[in-house]
Amino acid sequence: MPELPEVEVTRLGISPHLLGKNLQGAIVRESRLRLAVNADLSAQVAGQKLEQIRRRGKYLLLDLQRGSILIHLGMSGHLRVLPQDTPVEKHDHVDLLFAQDTCLRFHDPRRFGVLCWLKEADTHPLIARLGPEPLGEDFSGAYLHAQSRQRQIPVKAFLMDAHQVVGVGNIYANEALFAAGIDPRRPAGRISLARYTLLAAAVRVVLEAAIQQGGTTLRDFTRPDGRNGYFRLSLAVYGREGQACIRCGKALQGIRIGGRATTYCSHCQH
């Protein structure tokens, strides 16, 4: 599933081609996504200018003059900016038609994504209860420490809870906990303010590095055959179970926390 950096790079990739343009309508070829695409989508958006493209966690919000288009890429979705007459491929489910022969095409083979029109996006249940952005001013070690008091769940599960902080997915949670030297199994409420300060900084560094590496893929958002996946990160622990720790050389351990693969160093993380 695309994680926060992939979604942020998508936002950066499509924004220069779409901002300020008027929507002419939409073509819906398949409405049966995770949430049904609005039957009247084309009528709702036609004639409105795209004023802003923003991200909340792993959701994109295309803010128009009278509402927003909410997009989630699901497990396999991606967006492309193309001429409107670009031949349609299988799984090209929705086209948003803009002025100047521009089309934003939503492709999703597994149909776990979302594309819907909302008059009040920020109060929608998918958005309203999300925690602060990990790259925003409200996210800090002090915030994590305050939110975690009396919590007995593993710190990795706490960090991945979108109600606490949005968009820290499995890959980046593994990497940030290793960078901060924190055992992912530790109860969230038993970690000090000093260590949460280290963790908050590590989350920022890991996510910003991924976004920066993704910058090299921005041109792919205007190619019909472009495919953006996980960036080729230099991963310290994720996916390296049984391999040598880059710090101490001991074999990395693999477990499951909250049903998600978790890799850590029992010597360097405590």
Residues 88 and 145 in one domain: no
The structural domain count of the chain equals 2
CB neighbours (10 Å) of residue 174? 27
Q: Looking at residue 224, what is its pLDDT?
A: 63
Residue among 3, 6, 8, 175 flagged as catalytic: 3
DSSP letters for 33-93: SSSPPPTTHHHHHTT-B--EEEEETTEEEEE-SS-EEEEE-TTT-EEEEEETTSPP-TTEE
Catalytically annotated residue among 21, 186, 204, 260 = 260
Annotation marks residue 227 as catalytic: no
Question: Which tokens belong to 142?
Answer: 């002090």
User: How many Cβ atoms from other residues are within 10 Å of residue 140's Cβ?
Assistant: 16
- Pair (158, 111) in one structural domain: no
On whether residue 270 sits in a domain, the answer given is: no
Q: Are 80 and 104 in contact (CB under 8 A)?
A: yes
Same domain? 115 vs 166: no
Tell me the pTM.
Answer: 0.89
- Taking CA atoms, 102 is separated from 21, 219, 222, 225, in Å, by 9, 16, 10, 17
Task: Answer yes or no: do 29 and 116 share one domain.
Answer: yes
Q: Give all strands of the β-sheet with 78-83 in edge-to-edge order.
A: 23-28, 92-98, 102-107, 78-83
Q: Are residues 150 and 113 in the same domain?
A: no
Q: What is the domain-level CATH number for residue 119?
A: 3.20.190.10
Which residues are known binding-site members for DNA?
91, 110, 151
Set 2, 134, 154, 184: catalytic member: 2
Residues 186 and 95 in one domain: no
- The answer as to whether 269 is a domain residue is no
Per-residue pLDDT of the chain (270 residues; tens, 9 = 90+): 678 888 999 999 999 999 999 999 999 999 999 999 999 999 999 999 999 999 999 999 999 999 999 999 998 899 999 999 999 999 999 999 999 999 999 999 999 999 999 999 999 999 999 999 999 999 999 999 999 999 999 999 999 999 999 999 999 999 999 999 999 999 999 999 999 999 999 999 999 988 888 755 556 666 666 655 555 667 899 999 999 999 999 999 999 999 999 999 999 999
Q: Which position among 55, 58, 80, 105 bears the catalytic label? A: 58
What is residue 226's predicted lDDT score, i.e. its pLDDT?
Answer: 62
Angle at 78 between CA 76 and CA 83, to 5 degrees: 145
- Residue numbers of the domain that contains 117: 4-128
Share of the chain residues as helix, strand and coil, in percent rounded to the nearest 5: 30, 25, 45
Q: Are residues 88 and 157 in the same domain?
A: no
Q: Which residue has the tokens 């599933």?
A: 1
Q: Please confirm, yes or no, whether 58 is among the known catalytic residues.
A: yes
Domain membership of residue 136 (yes or no) is no
Q: Which residues are annotated as a binding site?
A: 91, 110, 151
Spatial separation of the C-alpha atoms in residues 235 and 240, rounded to whole Å: 8
Instruction: Mark whether 260 is an active-site residue.
Output: yes
